[in-house]
Amino acid sequence: MKKFTTIDLFAGVGGIRLGFEKAEFDTVYANDYDKNCKITYDANFDKVPLTIKDITKQSDANFSSVLDDIKKIKYDVLLGGFPCQAFSIAGYRQGFRDSRGIGDLFFYVAEIIEKTQPKAFLLENVKNLKGHDKGRTYKIIKETLESLGYHVKEEILNSMDYGNLPQNRERMYIVGFKSKEQFDRFKFPKKIKRSKKISDILEEKVDPYFYYENKSIWEKIKDYPFVENIVYQWRRVYVRENKSGVCPTLTANMGTGGHNVPLVKDKKGVRKLTPLECFRIQGFPEEYALPDIAKSHLYKQAGNSVSVPVIYRIATNMLEALQS
């Protein structure tokens, strides 16, 4: 059976790669701009380390260098969780006109697809991409991909419904195939019953660092009626309980003291989730190594990553389609 190969763009710490490699794809190239991601990424993948080249600065020279790298590689499937800040409800709502240029990164992805013609691709982004600018943003994206000769379909999947994970995380997944036959064969995964609970991902022994009793925030939250094994959010001025019994969407800024900080109560007290717990909530395997770097970097990496079991299920279905 043929082994299909992938390139991993905006790779972060390798969440998409993990899902595809579990589905028996081989990674032949990986790129990101974040040097801290490389520390974590390279600690977990022996082959094909993360190449650090920054195309987010909109430098033609930087992009050309990445494109030249990819042109030298034969591969089958392009993977990319391209930066979502330009499309996120939490971002600047400027889309392709994002003042930081991040929105335009999609067009760099499109150029790589145009110049290298993979058999298929998977792109991941925030749910809000679908409705951004009254649907015009995604209309441009889909029409661009179709103009390159691809058949494209998209779906919004929630990690708690499609990944058996205790996290309310809705993300948009865009899949494209050159072959109409393969496109017709591909189906997004169906919902599955969730069995994993918050209690399943919590560490048994947690460093005192993570508890709030001796921190300034404690005076603001100490009177709230916390219940064990439920995730709460600190929203700068108030505490909010997640009524669905799962963790709210992990965010990149949760380690910086801002809003959306996930809180739990255990037998010792009230604390924030640990980085390991955040990676578990994203479905990373237990053997995934977290290096000794600043906790803020690890929180950001977990929040920016993907839910690995959801990616695995999409990858499995893509493999079946490609083998047709």
- How far is the C-alpha of 282 from the C-alpha of 302, rounded, in Å? 7
Characterize the bridge pairing of strands 26-32 and 51-52.
parallel
From 37, 84, 247, 278, active-site residue = 84
d(CA 208, CA 214): 9
**217 - beta bridge partners?**
none
Q: Is 37 a residue of the active site?
A: no
CA distance between the termini of the chain: 12
Contacts of 133 (CB under 8 A, 6+ apart): 95
Amino acid identity, position 223: D
DSSP H helical segments within 186-285, as ranges?
A: 198-201, 218-221, 275-281
Q: How far apart are the C-alpha atoms of 57 and 137, rounded to whole Å?
A: 21
R_g of the chain, CA atoms, integer Å? 20
* Active site (catalytic) residues: 84
